[in-house]
Structure 1
C-alpha cells in the first residue's frame, strides 16, 4: 500500500536533519511506524520477540546499527531511551534516531526525560486534510500570523459525508475496511485495551466489564468537561457496587499513558486580564469513531439526533462527535505550526470558546465549532468577547462549520468548513 504523506512529515522534514533523535508518540494504529519507516535505514521492531531479545541483551545495537535507526515501540525495552540519550550527548549529528512509542514506560520504571536530547512529537489519527477527500484552502498557520488571511473556497462535503468520516475513523488501517469489518475492528481495539494493553502495562483489571462501562460513559462525555464523578455515576447507574475512586483514577491515568484518552486542556493565558477561568479539561478519546462505537449509534441515528450524552450541554451527540473530529484535526495542524490548543470557559459558563490555538508568539486563533451550514450573530458572541478582552493578541477568530463555503463575515470573523481547513 502506497504511503500517504502526513502533516507530521513536514515537521520531520524541518527538524530531523538538525536533531539527532526524535520520538513519535501516540496510540497504537495511528501510523507512527509507517511514517518513521520512510526515513529509516535500520528498523528494530521491539514487538518482535526475537529482535527484542537481541536488543535487551545488547542495547548498544541501537547506536551501532547504520543510521537513521528506528526503534519501534521503544518502551518495551526502556534502557533503549537512556542509551540513545547518552549517544546524543556524545554526538548530536542530525538524522540519527527515530523512536516510536504507544505508551510511556511501565509503572515503576524511571527514565530520564530526554530533555535537550530526544524531542517528542505527538502523532494522532488522520486529520481531515490527510484523508484525501478535499484540498484545504485555509491554513491554520496563516491564520495564526494574523493580517486577515484570505478565506475563500467552495466545499463539496455535506453533513452525511462528515458523519460517515466520523464513523470511518482516522486510523489508517481501519478506515478503508467495509462497514461491518470496520465495526469489528473498532470493537477489537477497545477489547485489546481492556484485555491486553492495560494488563501488559502492569494494571490489574479485576472488573473488565466495569472498565468497559466506564469507557463508554467517558465516550458519551465527549466534548464536555463533565466531572469525573458524573462519568462514574453514568457508568454504574443502578449498580450499588461502584469501583473505588482510586481504581478509576488508576485506569484513567494509564489510559492517558497509552494515548487512548486525549483530553483537551483548559487554556490559561499568560499576562492577560482574563479571570475566573475553569481548569477542567474537555474529554476526548483518541478518535471520535471509538466514542461513536462505544455509544452505539450509526449514521442514520446520528443524523436523526440520536445518542446518549453524559452531562448534556447544548447540541446533539453528532455535534459533540463533530467537535471532537475538528479538535483532533486542529491539534494535528497546531503541531505543524509549533502551537498549542486548549479550550476556554469561564466559571458559570458566561463565556466559552471551543478551541484556542496559541502560537509561539502567544497570539491566538479562537475557534468555535458549529454543526450547521449557517452562522448567526449569536454564534459568534464569545469570539467577539474574547477579542475585546485580548485585543491584538487575537490573531483571528473562526467558526468551523459543515457549510458549503469559506468566507469572512462583515464583522471580520472567518467562517470555514472543516473540509477546507488545513495546516
Structure 2
C-alpha cells in the first residue's frame, strides 16, 4: 500500500475535529478519499454497487455504523447528504460524519446543509505538499504581519516547469512522463464523455466542449471575457454554439471543481475606486491546461510550438502563475484568507493575488517568472501601499530564484518553492 502523504488540509481537519459533519469537495483525483480515510472508522463507498444498494435498501444504516463514518462519493445517491443532515439534526455527536465527492447532479433535491455540514475545498497538491523543497516562509505569517523572510532552495526554472506538467494529482504525478500524459488525457476525456453527463449536462458535441476547454486553458491567469474564449474555441470552424450552451459548460465544470477562477477584489473600505470586476481564469491544475494545449516541458522552456495565449505574454508565465495561485489558495484556506486579484478598470494597475483577512486587511502577491526582482516588478505593490496604507499587511513577489529575502523597500522576495502554509 502506498504511504499516505500528509496534506495541508489535515491541519484544518484537526482544528475542526469537533464538528459533527464535514464535507470535503474538489475535483476527482486530488486525494479527498485518502485524506478522509485517515480519520474514518467506517467507510460507505457509494461508487460501489454493494454499498450503494445497502444504503438505499436501509437508510437507517447511516446511524448504525461505527463513527466517524465516511460517505464516499455521496453524490452517487444525493439523498445520502440529506440522511447525514437529518442525523446531525437528531443530535449526532462531534466527529460523526465525513462526506467526500463533488456537486450533486443537476436537479437533485438536497438541503444546503448550512449549519449542519461544513464544506472544505481540497485542491491538487501544492509545492510544499509535493516535497519539492522545504518551505521556509509561511503564508499565514505573511498574512498576520509576522513573517520571517529567509531560506535558500536549489529549485530552478526547469524544476518548476516539470511541476507544471507533472500535476498535483497524487496518483498521476509520480508516473513516468509518457504514462502521466496518458493519464491526464484520460482524465480530460472522462470529464467530457462521462462526468458532464453524470452531472446532468448532456454533451451533444464533445469536440466543441474540448475546444472550449482548450480556449479556457489558453486564457489561464488572464481576465479575458467568456465571449472571447468562445470565439477562440470556435475559431471559424463549424457552427458557433449558443451562449447558453457554453454557460452550461462553465456551470458544469464549476460543479466538477475543474474551474478555479480568482475573483476580483472589492475592498471593504473606500480606498480604491473603479476597480475591474472580471475574474482571472484558472483551471484546477496547470497540468490540465498544458495537456489541453498540447505542450510539454520542452515546448514551454523553448517556446517551440507553444500555442499563442489569449493575451500578451508567454504561456509559461501564465502557467507559472497558475501554479503559484494553486499554492496560495491551498495555504490561504488554511489561514482563513480569501484569495482575490486586483485590476483597475483601465488596466493601468494590477496585483496578481490579494489575500484578504476577515478584518479587511490584505497581503499583496505578485508572481514573476524571473530569478531576480527589479524595481519595475514591484511598482504595483508600491502603488497599492500608497493607496491603502496600513491595510496592506505585507507584500511579496514570488519568483523562480534561489533565495528568500526582504528588499530595502520592505517588499519580500520569496522563491515559489520556499513558500508554505
- TM-score, structure 2 normalization: 0.98
Is the aligned partner of 1:230 residue 2:231? no
Q: Secondary structure at the match of 1:47?
A: coil
Residues 298-307 or 31-40, more deviating: 298-307
CA deviation after TM superposition for structure 1 residue 92, in Å: 4.8
Q: Which residue of the partner structure matches residue 3 of structure 2?
A: 2
Aligned partners of 1:310 and 1:408: how far apart in 2? 33
Partner of 2:177: 179
342, 353, 356: which one pairs with 2:351? 353
- Give runs of aligned pairs for residues 127-166 of structure 1, distance below 5 A: 127-147=126-146, 149-166=147-164
Separation (CA, whole Å) in 1 of partners of 2:59 and 2:359: 41
Hey, what's the Cα distance between the residues in 2 that align with 1:349 and 1:142? 30
Which residue among 363, 366, 369 is the counterpart of 1:365? Answer: 363
- Name the residue aligned to 2:116: 117
How far is 1:64 from its partner?
Answer: 1.9
Q: Secondary structure at the match of 1:174?
A: helix
Please name the residue that 2:79 is paired with: 79
> Is the 2:309–2:315 Cα contact (8 Å) retained in structure 1?
no
Q: Does 1:67 align with 2:77?
A: no
Q: How many angstroms apart in 2 are the aligned matches of 1:263 and 1:187?
A: 22
CA contact (8 A) 1:401 1:418 kept: yes
Say whether 1:12 aligns with 2:10: no
- Structure-1 separation of matches of 2:126 and 2:295: 22
After superposition, what is the alpha-carbon deviation per residue over 1:49-101, rounded to whole angstroms, capped at 9, x for unaligned? 11111112222212221100000011111111121112112225211100001
Distance 2:72 2:407 in 1: 48
Q: CA deviation at 1:155?
A: 1.1
Q: Is the 8 A contact 1:264 1:342 kept in 2?
A: yes
Contact 1:341–1:356 under 8 Å retained in 2: yes
Contact 1:374–1:403 at 8 Å: present in 2 too?
A: yes
1:340-375 deviations in Å (ceiling 9; x for gaps): 101111111011000001122322110000000111
Give the paired residue count. Answer: 419
Instruction: Provide the secondary structure at the position in 2 that maps to 1:153.
Output: coil
3-state DSSP class of the match of 1:157? coil
Shift of the alpha carbon at 1:240? Answer: 4.5
**Offset of 1:274 from its aligned partner?**
1.1
Among 223, 227, 241, the alignment partner of 2:239 is: 241
Q: Deviations over 1:163-193 (max 9, x none)?
A: 0011110000100111100000000000000
Distance 1:386 1:74 in 2: 44
For the residue of structure 2 that corresponds to 1:135, the secondary structure is coil
**Other-structure match for 2:205:** 207
In structure 2, list runs of 5 or more residues that go unmatched: none
Maintained 8 Å contact 2:329/2:339: yes
396-405 or 270-279, which deviates more = 270-279
Please state whether the residue corresponding to 2:187 is helix, strand or coil. Answer: helix
- Contact 1:125/1:286 (8 A) holds in 2: yes
Partner of 1:296: 294
8 Å Cα contact 1:272-1:390 kept in structure 2 = no
Residue 31 of structure 1 corresponds to: 31
Give, in whole Å, the separation in 2 of the partners of 1:329 and 1:309. 25
> How far, CA to CA, are the matches of 1:88 and 1:271 in structure 2?
38
Match of 2:339 in 1: 341
Note the alpha carbon deviations across 1:274-327, whole angstroms, 9 max, x for none. 1111111111111100100111112111112342243213x3111100000000
Secondary structure at 2:172 match in 1: coil
Q: CA deviation at 1:44?
A: 0.3
Partner of 1:51: 51
Deviations 1:97-145 (A, max 9, x none): 00001x2111111211111111000000000100012110000000111
CA distance in 2, matches of 1:39, 1:125: 20
Matched, 1:275 2:273: yes
1:202-254 deviation per Cα after TM superposition (whole angstroms, max 9, x unaligned): 11111011111111111111111111111111111122511111111101100
TM-score (norm 1): 0.97
The 3-state SS of whatever aligns with 1:356 is strand
Q: Let me know the Cα RMSD of the aligned residues.
A: 1.1
Q: Name the residue aligned to 1:168.
A: 166
